[in-house]
Amino acid sequence: MPKNSHTRITGIGSALVDILINESDEFLKTLNKEKGGMTLVNDEDIHYVLSASPQKTLLVPGGSACNTIVGVANLGGEARFIGRRGKDAHGMTLEEQLIQCRIEPLISISDSPTGKVLSVITPDAQRSMFTFLGASTELDPEFITPGLFKETAISMIEGYLLFNRKLMLAALKAAKEAGSMIALDLASFEVVNASKDILFDLVREYVDILIANEDEAKAYTGYEDEVNAVEALSQHVTFAVLKVGARGSYVSHNHKITKIPVQKGLPPIDTTGAGDLWAAGFLFGIAHGFSIEKSGRIASACGYEVCQVMGAQIPETGWERIRKLV
């Protein structure tokens, strides 16, 4: 449980704008992109993909940790976000929306464009992401101090920061020195594969809550079997989470594995942000001292509701249903 009396959740990660398009499996194959996961690209690559698709686009605020923090705020939690944006219209809109959600934005400004993520959503509701990090990559490790994480119960550190190792280490050290628990979402199997030389040591030394989906867990542990995978994830951490899509999730704590059922309902429209919002519900529950079962129910409800809309923004009607569980 949280190491202090606070309930605030502070997220640090990429401040991004999500661009969503619905496309076919065949279109994805023409891009030589493996379904799922995330590929780093430049701005021109995103413009190329958009020009090749006749489908209408949808623009929404994004970034993994940012999505989670927005979810925490909508649950009624105290929330803070640390990131870097451009001084362009996308960046200004992003920060304004955070403030409207009652999030404390600790965001520095860059002359570079605000980062963006193009998500190609196939008919099975899977999203394959092309990411241009833009200004978000310029978040200076020397800017990251324990004061940014003060009075924080849980610091949510985005796995994508592993592409900037100095920044990741600065965030881990600052959050730990501030006395908060540290949650790390492994982000994508590409992230895990690219950072194996340091990832296990970082988890052992700093991480309290480790979150992974099936692909990420396989890349991290080598196991496909769910029980073996979650047991391997749980080494050296207080909570280990394995998300298995439509089959729900598993949480390991104190050598006990709890199965969290998925919320039943309509089939998904778009899985963008499902893991991020699941994390919002779970971390909110843990920060407020709820049981694993109740935290899991809130998490599953968040994951379900975000899959009923395009993008990672749950409408207010959905939040009203989720808050009844709280």
Short-list 297, 253, 304, CA closest to 275 = 304
pLDDT per residue as tens digits for the range 15-46: 998 888 999 999 999 998 888 878 889 988 98
Amino acid at 260: I
pLDDT per residue as tens digits for the range 191-203: 999 999 999 999 9
Angle between helices 196-206 and 165-177 (to 10 degrees): 10
Residues 6+ positions from 302 with CB-CB distance below 8 Å? 71, 75, 277, 278, 280, 281, 314, 322
CA–chain centroid gap for 194, Å, is 18
pLDDT, the chain, mean:
93
Residues 6+ positions from 67 with CB-CB distance below 8 Å? 61, 273, 276, 277, 280, 312
148 in Cβ contact with 119 (< 8 Å): no
CA distance linking residue 238 with residue 225, whole number of Å = 21
Q: How many other C-beta atoms lie within 10 A of the C-beta of residue 265?
A: 11
Q: 137 or 299: which carries more pLDDT confidence?
A: 299
Its pTM stands at 0.89
Q: 271 or 204: which carries more pLDDT confidence?
A: 204
Class of the domain covering 9-14+63-112+137-325: alpha beta
Q: How many other C-beta atoms lie within 10 A of the C-beta of residue 248?
A: 17
310 in Cβ contact with 270 (< 8 Å): yes
Share of the chain above pLDDT 90, in %: 79
Short-list 113, 118, 146, 94, CA closest to 39 = 118
**pLDDT above 90: residue 7:** yes
pLDDT per residue as tens digits for the range 207-250: 999 999 999 999 999 999 999 999 999 999 999 999 999 899 99
Q: Where are the domains of the chain?
A: 9-14+63-112+137-325
Residue for token pair 């698709």: 53
CA distance linking residue 50 with residue 41, whole number of Å = 13
Q: Highest mean pLDDT range out of 19-28, 60-69, 88-97, 298-307?
A: 298-307
